[in-house]
């Protein structure tokens, strides 16, 4: 198993939650103090460098017009990290290509980072969460179709080496595509896609890209991975999916005693509880299928929203969206989820959020890397085959 | 049955066609067409009422190639051909008013008289302010306040609706987003084409309409040569629903006052 330190670069110096309607899209940027922001960038970069020092991968992402993630141009941060690091794999998860107007430009940016880092790029693509729609001025309807067309075009731009080709598609048009530089890794950097729906995972599985899912807990994650496995088999890629094709993102905090672990875990919960967004930004028309919207009007609730209302460390651990405690406890929690979902090869660690201070973040990274990670690598090798877990084995797991 | 299905350019459309006499093409607003609405029955009682559900609205299909209001305008010109109607009266509400305006610029001779009620479709105001408030960036409650004179009418009660009806409402809104997202609620080209529409045109709006302002309506009307404007009291963005009788009376008075020979 590979572990990645993921930081959203949140800006947490905010007024009381009751004083604003939304932490995303409309929160005025006068609240953002560029001096404090610069110090935060220093700090978050230092934490990524600690992760590299401890043998972990580095992961970053991109959001817009939000205090939860002040990394609206992730390729810029990625370029900086490419030069500040020397060994770590660099995972961007990811490029929001349903909201980017020029896929070819994305192909160029990623190829450039791959060369700058001498082939350390792991290139993720995301459709983008619903609150990105307003900020990106992006049409919420037909986003999936846009995403796939953009991705196919990017891969073609990376892998075409004999002069220009043209693309006249449904969403994108480009007459002279001949990118310089081409990627360092051949034929192209590893591709990751994040989705939290089984049907989306099915499409990712059919292409054999790495599938990541975020905070989906025991049953949600299993459903996503099962979807991936169906797509993988359906496309004839093999019977069993290797662990290195599947990734799970959770909040993780490790300490040498339960008291410190609990304190860190409490602060990490900010990641879930701070996400105050009104419904019109959280669910623009067309973002989810009609059937899902119908179910919501009939009372269904997104599992994460339901959790956020009464969020607690214990509930988060119980649901499998957080691993926190002493090294033994964390290992046990990860093992339980691993078995329930049929296995996975990447643990994406949300190891910094909100009020978790620099020293605490660093301590969490080091404790995990030194006292949990070695055992994970030994017990769950990357090449292990994942499986649809027999129902009997799932019984008894919340 | 007054409602049937018609296939145009590969798109299967739900079509209401009822009544005898001079044909009137009615293009519904953002909430779709409901033949049970009082204004529909009244209009169909006075002439032939033809009311398609726009692609992606009601039970009409939404083919992949449809991305703009302009596409629907061409589809409906084909509908007139199919129905062998050389010229018709045209009434469009809200987004249906936008479709109507697009149709009229493409084939002005085919329309005897046009009514645009709370129409969107043009941009005439300053760059740094939306002409139409952003309906996708406000709560349902806030939107109901802008859309209705009596906001209680705009409140959706899911418990009162069957799944199919609720799904249609959700889909109507999704299609509206597809069509009106960017440029927001307008086609930048339309204002440069509207001078071609030389038949008599009535611009209507509900007095309490918080989306189409009086200012917007007048600037829109100023782009056409033969216009008159009127306001309906006690109505918001959908006077055909909130004040059906005054709405129909306004239209009929306009038609009666403008009886040019058939084109």
> Which residue carries 């040569």 as its tokens?
B225
* Interface residue A139 vs chain B (CB under 8 A): yes
Q: Residue B10's CB: how many other CB atoms inside 10 A?
A: 10
Tens of pLDDT, residue by residue over A270-303, are 988 999 999 999 999 999 999 999 999 998 888 8
pLDDT at A398: 37
pLDDT at A392: 44
Q: Is the pLDDT assigned to residue A390 strictly greater than 60?
A: no
pLDDT category at A393 given cuts 50, 70, 90 is low
Query: Which has the higher per-residue pLDDT, A130 or A302?
Result: A130
Determine contact, residues A294/A338, Cβ cutoff 8 Å. Answer: no
pLDDT category at A389 given cuts 50, 70, 90 is low
Write out chain A residues lying below 8 Å of B175, CB-based. 141
User: Tens digit of pLDDT per residue, chain B (263 long)?
Assistant: 589 999 998 899 999 999 999 999 999 999 999 999 999 999 999 999 999 999 999 999 999 999 999 999 999 999 999 999 999 999 999 999 999 999 999 999 999 999 999 999 999 999 999 999 999 999 999 999 999 999 998 888 899 999 999 999 999 999 999 999 999 999 999 999 999 999 999 999 999 999 999 999 999 999 999 999 999 999 999 999 999 999 999 999 999 999 965 56
pLDDT at B263: 60
Q: Round to whole Å and give the CA distance between A224 and A213.
A: 7
Domain A2-394: give its CATH architecture.
Alpha-Beta Barrel (3.20)
Positive/negative CA dihedral, B2, B3, B5, B6: positive
- Among the partner-chain residues B64, B136, B166, the one whose CB lies closest to the CB of A280 is B136
| φ and ψ at residue A384, rounded to 5 degrees | -55, 150
Q: Give A171 to chain B, closest Cα distance, Å.
A: 11
Determine contact, residues A316/A273, Cβ cutoff 8 Å. Answer: no
Radius of gyration of chain B from Cα atoms?
Answer: 17
**Residues paired with A249 in a beta bridge:** A214, A348
* Interface residue A279 vs chain B (CB under 8 A): yes
pLDDT at B261: 57
- Among the partner-chain residues A139, A279, A281, the one whose CB lies closest to the CB of B181 is A139
Radius of gyration of chain A from Cα atoms?
Answer: 20
Mean pLDDT, chain B, integer: 96
Is residue B157 helix, strand or coil? coil
B→A contacts (Cβ < 8 Å), by residue, are 64, 136-140, 156, 158, 163, 166-167, 170-171, 173-178, 181-182
Q: Round to whole Å and give the CA distance between A318 and A327.
A: 17
Is residue B12 helix, strand or coil? strand
* Interface residue A144 vs chain B (CB under 8 A): no
Determine contact, residues A32/A11, Cβ cutoff 8 Å. Answer: yes
Q: Residue A271's CB: how many other CB atoms inside 10 A?
A: 23
pTM of the model: 0.95
Determine contact, residues A30/A89, Cβ cutoff 8 Å. Answer: no
**Residue (of B187, B181, B67) closest to B122 by Cα position:** B187
Which residue of chain A comes nearest to B168, CA vs CA?
A290
Write out chain A residues lying below 8 Å of B170, CB-based. 285, 290, 293-294, 297
> Which residue carries 């009806």 as its tokens?
B165
- Mutation for A interface: B162, B177, B182, B183, most A CBs within 10 A: B177
Q: Which CATH number fits domain B3-257: 3.40.50.1820, 3.20.20.70, 3.30.450.20, 3.40.630.30?
A: 3.40.50.1820
pLDDT category at A356 given cuts 50, 70, 90 is very high
pLDDT category at A396 given cuts 50, 70, 90 is very low
Q: Residue A162's CB: how many other CB atoms inside 10 A?
A: 6
DSSP A239-296: SS-BGGGEEEEEEEEE-SSHHHHHHHHHHHTHHHHT----HHHHS-TTSS-HHHHHHH
Task: Give domain limits for chain A.
Answer: 2-394
Q: Is the pLDDT assigned to residue A82 strictly greater than 60?
A: yes
Q: Residue A35's CB: how many other CB atoms inside 10 A?
A: 7
Q: Test A280 with B170 for CB contact under 8 angstroms.
A: no
């Amino acid at each position: 198993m590979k572990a990645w330190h993921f930081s959203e670069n949140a800006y947490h110096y905010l007024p009381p939650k009751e004083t604003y309607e939304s932490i995303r899209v409309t929160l005025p940027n006068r609240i953002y103090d560029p001096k404090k922001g610069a110090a935060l960038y220093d700090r978050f970069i230092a934490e990524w460098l600690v992760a590299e020092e401890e043998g972990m991968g580095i992961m970053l992402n991109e959001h817009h017009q939000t205090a939860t993630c002040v990394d609206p141009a992730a390729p810029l941060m990625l370029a900086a990290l490419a030069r500040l690091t020397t060994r770590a794999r660099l995972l961007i998860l990811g490029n929001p290509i349903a909201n980017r107007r020029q896929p070819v430009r994305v192909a160029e940016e990623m190829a450039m980072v791959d060369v700058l880092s001498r082939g350390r790029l792991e290139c993720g693509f995301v459709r983008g969460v619903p609150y990105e729609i307003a900020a990106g001025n992006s049409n919420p309807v037909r986003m999936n179709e846009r995403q796939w067309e953009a991705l196919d075009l990017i891969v073609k731009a990376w892998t075409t080496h004999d002069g220009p080709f043209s693309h006249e598609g449904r969403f994108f048009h480009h007459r002279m595509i001949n990118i310089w530089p081409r990627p360092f890794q051949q034929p192209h950097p590893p591709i990751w896609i994040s989705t939290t729906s089984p049907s989306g995972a099915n499409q990712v599985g059919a292409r054999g890209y790495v599938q990541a899912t975020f905070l989906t807990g025991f049953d949600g994650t299993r459903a996503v991975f099962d979807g991936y496995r169906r797509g993988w088999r359906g496309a004839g890629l093999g019977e069993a999916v290797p662990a290195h094709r599947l990734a799970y993102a959770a909040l993780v905090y490790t300490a040498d005693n339960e008291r410190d672990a609990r304190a860190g875990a409490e602060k990490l919960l900010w990641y879930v509880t701070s996400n105050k967004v009104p419904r019109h930004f959280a669910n623009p028309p067309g973002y989810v299928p009609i059937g899902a919207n119908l179910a919501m009007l009939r009372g269904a609730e997104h599992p994460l929203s339901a959790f956020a209302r009464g969020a607690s460390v214990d509930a988060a651990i119980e649901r499998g969206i957080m691993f926190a405690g002493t090294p033994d406890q964390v290992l046990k929690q990860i093992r339980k989820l691993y078995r329930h979902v049929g296995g996975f090869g990447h643990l994406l660690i949300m190891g910094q959020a909100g009020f978790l201070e620099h020293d605490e973040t660093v301590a969490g990274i080091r404790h995990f890397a030194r006292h949990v990670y070695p055992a994970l690598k030994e017990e769950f090798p990357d090449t292990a085959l994942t499986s649809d877990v027999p129902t009997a084995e799932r019984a008894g797991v919340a | 049955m007054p409602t049937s299905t018609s296939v145009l350019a590969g798109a299967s459309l739900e079509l209401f066609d009822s009544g005898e006499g001079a044909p009137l093409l009615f293009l519904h607003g953002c909430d779709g067409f409901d033949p049970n609405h009082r204004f529909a029955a009244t209009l169909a009682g006075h002439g032939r009422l033809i009311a398609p559900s726009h692609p992606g609205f009601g039970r009409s299909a939404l083919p992949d190639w449809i991305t703009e209001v302009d596409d629907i305008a061409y589809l409906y010109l084909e509908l007139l051909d199919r129905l062998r109607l050389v010229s018709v009266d045209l009434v469009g509400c809200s987004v249906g008013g936008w479709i109507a305006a697009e149709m009229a610029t493409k084939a002005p001779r085919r329309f005897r008289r046009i009514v645009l009620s709370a129409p969107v479709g043009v941009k005439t105001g300053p760059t740094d302010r939306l002409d139409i408030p952003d309906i996708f960036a406000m709560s349902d409650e806030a939107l109901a306040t802008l859309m209705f004179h009596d906001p209680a009418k705009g409140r959706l009660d899911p418990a009162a609706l069957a799944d199919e009806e609720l799904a249609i409402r959700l889909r109507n809104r999704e299609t509206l987003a597809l069509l009106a997202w960017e440029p927001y609620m307008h086609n930048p080209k339309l204002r440069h084409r509207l001078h071609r529409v030389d038949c008599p045109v009535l611009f209507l709006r509900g007095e309490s309409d918080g989306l189409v302002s009086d200012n917007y309506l007048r600037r829109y009307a100023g782009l056409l040569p033969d216009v008159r404007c009127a306001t309906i009291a006690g109505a918001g963005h959908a006077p055909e629903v909130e004040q059906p009788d005054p709405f129909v009376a306004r239209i009929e008075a306009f038609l009666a006052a403008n009886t040019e020979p058939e084109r």
